[in-house]
Amino acid sequence: MGVLCVIDADGFRPNVGIVLSNAQGQVLWARRVGQQAWQFPQGGIDKGETPEQALYRELEEEIGLKPQDVKVVACTRRWLKYRLPDQYRRRDSEAQFIGQKQKWYLLRITAADEAIRVESGDKPEFDEWRWVSYWYPLGQVIDFKKDVYRRALLELAPQLVPQACSGTTDLPIAAHDKSLQSGNCKDA
């Protein structure tokens, strides 16, 4: 029996996004199995699960890391939403949703890189990963996710200062702007 998919009243599926950083301020960028599509790890929040519980479950399912392998640095204050284009919507499942609303978590890896295992889990979602500069994903992610990635990275960036803000970028970075400070990760 499958896990129940939660969909809010507006048709969005609650989800967590994971920005995993290393000591150099780089972030983990993973390639979806059998595709040339790269993204941050992410996944749905199951019925009865908190965003933080989903974070740790997805972390282990998608990249093989356990809670003791990471430190939670920050999370976004609000849900960030994106709509799925029609061609990406699942028609074969009972649960129909129009998009995702995500809580984004910034983590720092405390384990060795060898602890990252994208081949873990029953159905691996990724087949390759690499460390990239903090802002690199904005130029690479699929178009319909770009705005959410931009908003998440902008909000989380001050928590990685100076690493995230020292690179070159076309984006306005306001590390001193208190409105970008992340909220309490326990408040979902």
- For residue 24, the model assigns a pLDDT of 93
pTM of the model: 0.82
The answer to whether 142 touches 82, Cβ cutoff 8 Å, is no
The secondary structure of residue 128, as a DSSP letter, is: E
* Structural domains of the chain, ranges and CATH numbers in brackets: 12-180 (3.90.79.10)
Placement of tokens 């061609």 in the chain = 87
Q: Which helix H or strand E contains 104, and what residues bound it?
A: strand 99-109
- For residue 85, the model assigns a pLDDT of 84
Q: How far apart are CA 135 and CA 31, in angstroms?
A: 17
pLDDT tens, position by position, 68-90: 999 999 999 999 999 988 766 66
pLDDT tens, position by position, 4-42: 678 888 999 999 999 999 999 999 999 999 999 999 999
CB within 8 A of 101, min separation 6: which ones? 8, 12, 13, 14, 15, 79, 80, 81
Question: At residue 2, does pLDDT exceed 90?
Answer: no
pLDDT tens, position by position, 36-65: 999 999 999 999 999 999 999 999 999 999
The answer to whether 41 touches 56, Cβ cutoff 8 Å, is no
Percent of the chain past pLDDT 70, that is, above it, reads 78
